[in-house]
Each structure stands twice: as C-alpha cells, then as structure tokens.
Amino acid sequence: MHTRNLIACALVLVSLLVSACATRVEVDGNFPAALTHKLPLRSVVVFDEAFASHRFESTQGPEVSVFVGQIQVELFTGLADSLFQYSSTSTKMPTNSEADLILVPNVEDVQISMPNESQLKVFEVWIKYNLQVFKPTGEPVADWIMTAYGKTPTRFLKSNTDALQQASMVAMRDAGAHFITGFARVPEIQQWLRHRSTSTSESSGSTPL
C-alpha cells in the first residue's frame, strides 16, 4: 500500500512537472469595428468545424498549444459586419442562399516562433488563411491566400502564455487589416464586383443593394 501511494505521488509530481513545461493558450479578446465603407452586398460567412475549433499544436521542443478557433470566428463575423451591407454566418455551406456571395475562411497554416528558437527577443505568430469566395450558386469566385503576422517583444517576468496570447491578437488584427484593405483589390473579386455592377445596372428587374 505504501509503495502504491509513493508511485501515485511520483506520477502526480511528474505530470505536474510536464504540464509546467507546456504552453497552452486559448486566445481571447475583442476587436474594434472596422472604419470602412460597406460594400453593397449580402454575405454569408461559413465557419466549418475545422475552422471554428482550430488549435495549433507543436511538440517539437517545448510543447505549445494555441487555440484560435473561437477568436477567429469572432474576428471574421465582425469583419463581415463591417465590410458588407448585410451579413450572416452559418456552419454549413448554404443552398439556395439569397446572399450575393459566400465566404469560407480556412486556416492553411499556423507557425509560431519563440525567442529560444529565433534568437530574437520577440514572440511571433504567422497565420495563413485561404479565404474562399463563392457565388450563391456554389460557383467559385476566388481563392484568396491571406497571411497575417503578429509579434510581441519579450518582457521580464512575462510568461510565454501571455506573450503568445498578445502576439496572436496582433496577428488577428493584422488579418483583419489585410481583409478590410485587400478584399476589393483581389483581382478575381474585383472582376466579379465589376461584372456584377454592370449586370445589375443592365438588368431592369434586379434590385441592387
């Protein structure tokens, strides 16, 4: 019995030590409304399960786990509200949608750099998004590869968790800046917008927003 207790204690101690070495971050925060002109469009943003529960995990070197799923759903919901006249969200690709376009954001890659790896005194976070844009019929309009970058300097007595949380928030804001300033400049989207405005002005029955 005594040996059993000793083993249990040792196991608890070892697991505590192992978890003390790991960095687990659940990114949370708020984003301001974007100061931009609204495009006269109705949009649906589709957040699939993989996107809404995305977690970056690295086991090379010290274990790092960063959960960005929820915060990026909040980010893209807010961005769509700011950029489009009307916007809604869905967890599935809509059929027979009344929207003008459907946006499906996907996370292609997440990379994290810690000061002990880069020899720089900054924590860095890169996120590569693939923003797929579809017509309501499901026909693709564009595959926009959108990168976001955030960094935060190391600070005395600042934990890795706090630093990664901060760097991730900077990266998210950067993604927002890229989305707002770049959406209408993506050549395929630009072409679609031009074509749409021509066709809506030509067709007498349609009611453009």
Partner 1 sequence: MKSLTALIMLTLLITLSACTTTTVDEYRENSTALTLASGERVVVLGRRHYADYETEPDFIDCIGEKLKADKEILVLPEKEFVDLLYPWFEPRTAPLGLKRLAKMLDEPMIAQRFKEQGLHYMIWIDGSTETTDRDGSVSCAVGPGGGGCFGFATWEKTGTYEAIIWDLQTLKESGRVKVEARGSSYMVAIILPIPIVAQVQDQACDGIGLQLRTFFMGNRAGEAS
x/- string (CB under 8 A) for partner 1, residues 129-168?
A: ----------------------xxx---------------
Binding residue for partner 1, selected from 8, 177, 184, 209, defined by CB under 8 A: 177
Helix (H, G, I), strand (E, B) or coil at 193: helix
Tell me how far CA of residue 127 lies from CA of 36, 76, 96, 146, in angstroms.
23, 14, 32, 8
> Judged by CB, which is closer to partner 1: 159, or 181?
181
We find the least distance from the C-beta atom of residue 89 to partner 1, in angstroms, to be 20
Among 207, 75, 87, residue whose Cα is nearest residue 150 = 75
> Judged by CB, which is closer to partner 1: 152, or 165?
152
Q: Find the binding residues for partner 1 in span 37-56 (CB under 8 A).
A: 37
Among 172, 133, 129, residue whose Cα is nearest residue 147 = 129
Kindly state whether residue 122 participates in binding partner 1, applying the rule CB under 8 A: yes
Q: Find the binding residues for partner 1 in span 9-38 (CB under 8 A).
A: 31-37
Among 56, 32, 33, 19, residue whose Cα is nearest residue 165 = 56
Kindly state whether residue 178 participates in binding partner 1, applying the rule CB under 8 A: yes
Helices (H), 22-138: 49-52, 69-83, 115-118
Which residue type, as a one-letter code, is found at position 187? Answer: P
User: Under the rule (CB under 8 A), what is the footprint of partner 1?
Assistant: 31-37, 120-122, 151-153, 170, 173-174, 176-178, 180-181
